[in-house]
């Protein structure tokens, strides 16, 4: 099976794609919209993208693809613990390091370590943890990168320190995207997004009331801008149950009448 993922090789998303299907024919994509396009156009069957990190919060590019693009649904999810390693050219001395490259999320997740051990080095943003390793290895000044262990193998970097993230509760939830969502398993969740014609977030209360009355639990509430102006939001909910379960089906019908736009992103098995 061909599986697209937010690449390049050596990122956590590649690790998630391999975990989802160890025998997959992996296709790296430069952006999350490119992963969605590969699925929509039939170049791949599935695609893997991060959606939420336990420290940094939502991966907004993935939410925005679900909201603004058609032809791509959520088919499954998986959760991976995140461990950041410090790596670079062999025999680099920590006290000589001037730049630490990584994806801004990884830099944010290692902020305390950097302040304690590399306070003289400038944190510098890279477009991915893998690109950070390349940047560090080809840098003219002494530089290191923060990246997953696998990136060191791929790019021939030496690991200087392991597990340097500030918080051990560091995990990322990934979505498996496809042209269809998942059939009912009996232990499912459903992701939806909606907005209101007038910009009153208070209407969210009415939607939550509909769900509460039917004993439908929520596992996530997010908001994203509609891009129409400040203060106008899409609300994104994850609710327990499959869209084919009677209470969920009934609730979604009612929610559709309250909202100006309702999009069901997909039903899929709940991760334990």
Q: Which residues bind a copy of itself (CB under 8 A)?
A: 52-57, 60-61, 79, 104, 108, 123-127, 167, 169, 171, 173, 200-202, 204-205, 208-209, 211-212, 217-225, 227-233, 235
Distance from C-alpha of 4 to C-alpha of 22, rounded to nearest angstrom: 13
Q: Quick one: CA dihedral 72, 73, 77, 82, positive or negative?
A: positive
Shortest Cβ 260–a copy of itself spacing (Å):
17
CB 98 within 8 A of CB 118: no
Whether 185 is catalytic is no
CB 188 within 8 A of CB 269: yes
List 11, 13, 129, 174, catalytic entry: 174
Distance from C-alpha of 193 to C-alpha of 195, rounded to nearest angstrom: 7
Whether 11 is catalytic is no
* Nearer to a copy of itself among residue 158 and residue 217 (C-beta): 217
Longest dimension (CA), the chain: 64
Q: Please work out, in degrees rounded to the nearest 5, the angle formed at the alpha carbon of residue 30 by the alpha carbons of 269 and 34.
A: 60
Shortest Cβ 168–a copy of itself spacing (Å):
10
Shortest Cβ 205–a copy of itself spacing (Å):
4
* Nearer to a copy of itself among residue 22 and residue 202 (C-beta): 202
Q: Is 107 helix (H, G, I), strand (E, B) or coil?
A: helix
* Nearer to a copy of itself among residue 160 and residue 210 (C-beta): 210
Q: What count of residues does the chain have?
A: 272
List 11, 172, 190, 259, catalytic entry: 172
Shortest Cβ 217–a copy of itself spacing (Å):
5
* Catalytic residue positions, numbered: 172, 174
């Amino acid at each position: 099976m061909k599986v697209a993922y937010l690449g390049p090789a050596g990122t956590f998303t590649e690790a998630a794609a391999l975990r989802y299907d160890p025998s997959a024919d992996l296709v790296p994509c430069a952006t999350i919209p490119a992963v969605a396009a590969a699925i929509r156009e039939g170049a791949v069957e599935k695609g893997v993208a991060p959606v939420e990190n336990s420290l940094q919060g939502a991966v907004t590019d993935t939410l925005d693809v679900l909201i603004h693009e058609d032809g791509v649904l959520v088919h499954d999810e998986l959760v991976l613990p995140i461990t950041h390693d410090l790596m670079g050219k062999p025999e680099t001395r920590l006290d000589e390091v001037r730049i630490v490259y990584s994806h801004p999320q990884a830099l944010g997740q290692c902020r305390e370590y950097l302040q304690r051990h590399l306070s003289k080095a400038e944190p510098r943003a890279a477009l991915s943890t893998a690109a950070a390793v390349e940047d560090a290895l080809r840098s003219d000044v002494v530089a290191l990168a923060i990246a997953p262990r696998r990136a060191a193998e791929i790019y021939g970097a030496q690991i200087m320190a392991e597990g340097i993230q500030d918080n051990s509760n560091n995990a990322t939830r990934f979505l498996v995207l496809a042209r269809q969502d998942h059939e009912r398993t009996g232990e499912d969740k459903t992701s939806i997004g909606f907005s209101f014609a007038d910009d009153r977030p208070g209407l969210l209360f009415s939607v939550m009331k509909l769900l509460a009355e039917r004993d439908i639990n929520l596992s996530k509430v997010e908001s994203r801008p509609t891009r129409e102006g400040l203060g106008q939001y899409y609300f994104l909910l994850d609710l327990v149950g499959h869209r084919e379960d009677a209470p969920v089906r009934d609730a979604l019908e009612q929610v559709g009448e309250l909202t100006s736009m309702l999009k069901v992103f997909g039903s899929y098995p709940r991760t334990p």
